[in-house]
Amino acid sequence: MKALRNVLVGIDFSEPSDNALREAARIAAWDGAELVALNVLDENILDRARNEIDLPVDNVLAEATRRLRQHVEDILGPGHPGVRSEFVLGHPFKEMVAMANQIDADLIVLGSHGVIREDEPYRVGTLATRCIRKAKPNVLIVRDWQDGPFEKVCACIDFSQPSRDAAMAALHIAQQDEAALDFLHVHLPLRSLAADPGLGLGGMPVYSAADDAELLKQIQGKLARFADEVADGCPHGSHVYSEFSLRRGIVDYLKASSPDLVVINTRGHTQIRNLLIGSAAEKIIHEADCSTLVIKPDGFRYELD
C-alpha cells in the first residue's frame, strides 16, 4: 500500500464510528498522514426541524461544530497530532465524496453501523456501501468489535494487478501491526465456468474431476509463488479454496480462518459472473464477520447520482 497522505473518517457519534476514528488515527500515524474527521448534518433533517419549531440555525451549527471537536478530543485525547475536525451541512454521501476530493484522500474509514437484521447480522450501513461502490479512495470498514492492532490479515487474490495492489496493502498492514498474513485464492471448478450462462459461450468442453484436480494443483503453485514474491520475506500462508461461488468461497474461508481484516479489490462491473472479485465485493462486505479494506484500481471513476 502506498504511503498515506490524507485519511478521511466519518463521524456520527455512534460506537462504531468511535472505533473507526481510533483505527483511522492509528493507521494515519503510520505514515504521518493528515486525518480529517468529518461529521455531516443531513440538511433534510434540519429542514424538517425548522418546519416544526423556531430553530436558531446559526446556534445549532455552532454547537454541532463545538460538539464534534470535543468528541474527537474525548476519543483521541487532547491535542492529538495530525487531526482536523470538519462539520458540514448537506447530504452525507455527497459531502463525504466532496471532502475526499477536496483533501485528495487516499483512504476513507467508516464504522460498519447499519440496520441489524437477524438474517444479515454483519450488513454495513448505506453510507459505507455507497462509498465502496462510488467513492474514488480505498475504503476501510471497521467492525464494531475491532479494537487496536489487527492480529490476522487475509488478502483475496485473483492474480490481477488490482489484487496485487490488495496484497501489497495487506502486507503493509501486517508489517505495521505484526499480524499474521494469509493470501487466499478461491478456485472456481472448471465445471462451474462451463455451466455459467454469464460467459455467453456455447460448445464449452466437458471437464472431469481429474482436470479440476490438475488445475487446482497448478493454481496452488501459482499462488505460493505470488505470495512469496509479494511478501518478500514476511511470514505468510497461502491457501486455495475450491468453491463454485466466489462470494461463498471467500465468506466460508473467512468464517473458518477468523481473520480480523480482509483485503479485497474491486474492478467494477462485469458481464462474466463470478470471475472477478469486483463483482462479488459488495456482497462479501455485507457477509464477512471482520473488518474489510476495499482497494480501488488506479483511475477508478464512478458517475455520482
What CATH number is given to the structural domain containing 7?
3.40.50.620
**pLDDT of 188 over the 80 cut:** yes
| pLDDT on residue 121 | 55
Range of the domain at 159: 149-305
Whole-number Å distance between alpha carbons of 269 and 205:
27
CB 116 within 8 A of CB 144: no
| Count of beta carbons in the 10 Å neighbourhood of residue 232 | 10
φ and ψ of 135, to 5 deg: -80, 150
Reported as type and span, the H/E element at residue 10 is strand 6-10
Residues 99-138 pLDDT 10s: 999 999 999 999 986 545 555 556 777 888 888 888 899 9
Task: Verify that 2 and 79 share a domain, yes or no.
Answer: yes
Task: Verify that 120 and 224 share a domain, yes or no.
Answer: no
Instruction: Name the grid cell of 305.
Output: 447520482
Task: Verify that 111 and 154 share a domain, yes or no.
Answer: no
Whole-number Å distance between alpha carbons of 105 and 8:
6
Strands (DSSP E) contained in 114-244 are: 138-142, 152-156, 180-187, 237-242
Task: Verify that 8 and 119 share a domain, yes or no.
Answer: yes
| pLDDT on residue 276 | 46
**pLDDT of 202 over the 90 cut:** no
Listed residues 143, 164, 198: the one ending a domain: 143
**pLDDT of 270 over the 90 cut:** no
Whole-number Å distance between alpha carbons of 79 and 266:
37
Task: Verify that 48 and 62 share a domain, yes or no.
Answer: yes
Listed residues 143, 171, 206: the one ending a domain: 143
| pLDDT on residue 160 | 87
Residues 71-110 pLDDT 10s: 999 999 987 888 999 999 889 899 999 999 999 999 999 9
Domains in the chain: how many in total?
Answer: 2
**pLDDT of 271 over the 50 cut:** no
Task: Verify that 96 and 184 share a domain, yes or no.
Answer: no
- Considering the chain, what is the average pLDDT of its residues? 84
Task: Verify that 189 and 49 share a domain, yes or no.
Answer: no
Task: Verify that 138 and 1 share a domain, yes or no.
Answer: yes
Task: Verify that 78 and 181 share a domain, yes or no.
Answer: no
Task: Verify that 289 and 269 share a domain, yes or no.
Answer: yes
Higher-scoring residue by pLDDT: 242, 268? 242
Strands 83-90 and 107-111: unpaired
Task: Verify that 99 and 198 share a domain, yes or no.
Answer: no
Position 281 confidence tier, pLDDT thresholds 50, 70, 90:
confident
**Residues 6 or more apart in contact with residue 122 via CB below 8 angstroms:** 112, 143, 286, 287, 288, 289
Q: How many residues does the chain have?
A: 305
Whether the CA torsion 32, 67, 108, 144 is positive or negative: it is positive
Listed residues 90, 111, 143: the one ending a domain: 143
Task: Verify that 169 and 243 share a domain, yes or no.
Answer: yes
Sheet holding 291-295, edge to edge: 83-90, 34-42, 6-10, 107-111, 138-142, 291-295, 261-265, 152-156, 180-187, 237-242
Could you tell me which of 187, 193, 174 has the C-alpha nearest to residue 259? 174
Reported as type and span, the H/E element at residue 111 is strand 107-111
